[in-house]
Amino acid sequence: MLDADDLISLVRNYNPKTNEALLRGAYAYAQKMHAGQTRHSGEPYFTHPVAVAAILTEQRLDDATIATALLHDTIEDTKGTYTEIAKLFGADVAELVDGVTKLTNLELSSREAKQAENFRKLLMAMSKDLRVILVKLADRLHNMRTIRHMRPEKQAKKAHETMDIYAPLAGRMGMQWMREELEDLSFRVLNPEARNSIMRRFLTLQKETGDAIPRITDDIEAVLDRHGVKAEVFGRAKKPFSIWRKMQEKDLAFSRLSDIYGFRVLTATEDDCYRVLGAIHQRWRAVPGRFKDYISQPKSNGYRSIHTTVSGRDGKRVEVQIRTRQMHDVAESGVAAHWSYRDGVRSENPFAVDPAKWLEGLTERFEAAEDGDEFLEHVKLEMYSDQVFCFTPKGDVVQLPKGATPIDFAYMIHTRIGHSCVGAKVDGLRVPLWTRLKNGQSIEIITAEGQTPQASWIDIVVTGRAKAAIRRMLREEDRERFIKLGRELARVAFEQVGKKATDKALDTAARAIGLKTGAEMLARIGSAELSARSVVARIYPELAGQTETSDVEVRRAVIGLPAGAETRRAQCCQPVPGERIVGITYLGRGPIVHAIDCPALAAFDDSPERWIDLHWTEGRHAPVHNVTIDVTISNQKGVLGRICTLIGEQNANISDLNFIDRKLDYFRLLIDVDVRNAEHLHAVMMAVELDSDVASLQRSRNLDRRP
Helix 20-33 and helix 82-89, axial crossing angle in degrees, nearest 10: 150
- Catalytic, out of 58, 77, 548, 691: 77
If DSSP codes are grouped into helix, strand and coil, which group holds residue 324? strand
Residues shown for the chain: 707
Angle at 141 (CA atoms; ends 197, 67), nearest 5 degrees? 165
Alpha carbons 464 and 472: distance in angstroms, whole number: 12
Alpha carbons 413 and 368: distance in angstroms, whole number: 16
Cβ-based neighbours of 606, under 8 Å, separated by 6 or more:
none
Cβ atoms within 10 Å, residue 63? 22
Q: Which residues of 71-93 are buried (b: 16+ CB within 10 A; e: fewer)?
A: bbbbbeebebeeeebbeebeebb
Could you tell me if 241 and 252 are in contact, meaning their C-beta atoms sit under 8 angstroms apart? no
Helix 82-89 and helix 63-71, axial crossing angle in degrees, nearest 10: 150
Residue type, 416: R
Residue type, 555: R
Q: Is 76 a catalytic residue?
A: yes
DSSP labels, 184-250 = HHHHHHH-HHHHHHHHHHHHHHHHHH--HHHHHHHHHHHHHHHTT---EEEEEEPPHHHHHHHHHHH
Which is it for the CA torsion 248, 250, 253, 259, positive or negative?
negative
Cβ atoms within 10 Å, residue 381? 20
Which is it for the CA torsion 668, 672, 676, 677, positive or negative?
positive
DSSP labels, 80-97 = --HHHHHHHH-HHHHHHH
Q: Is 480 a catalytic residue?
A: no
Alpha carbons 699 and 346: distance in angstroms, whole number: 70
Alpha carbons 449 and 701: distance in angstroms, whole number: 46
Alpha carbons 670 and 668: distance in angstroms, whole number: 7
Could you tell me if 98 and 54 are in contact, meaning their C-beta atoms sit under 8 angstroms apart? no
State the pairing for strand pair 397-401/387-391: antiparallel
- Catalytic, out of 76, 459, 476, 503: 76
Question: Alpha helix locations (H) across 650-701?
Answer: 678-689
Alpha carbons 628 and 292: distance in angstroms, whole number: 52
Give Cα 176 distance to the centre of its chain: 19
Alpha carbons 21 and 2: distance in angstroms, whole number: 17
If DSSP codes are grouped into helix, strand and coil, which group holds residue 591? strand
Alpha carbons 498 and 543: distance in angstroms, whole number: 9
Measuring CA to CA, which residue among 164, 140, 152, 175 is closest to residue 58? Answer: 175
Residues with a known catalytic role:
76-77
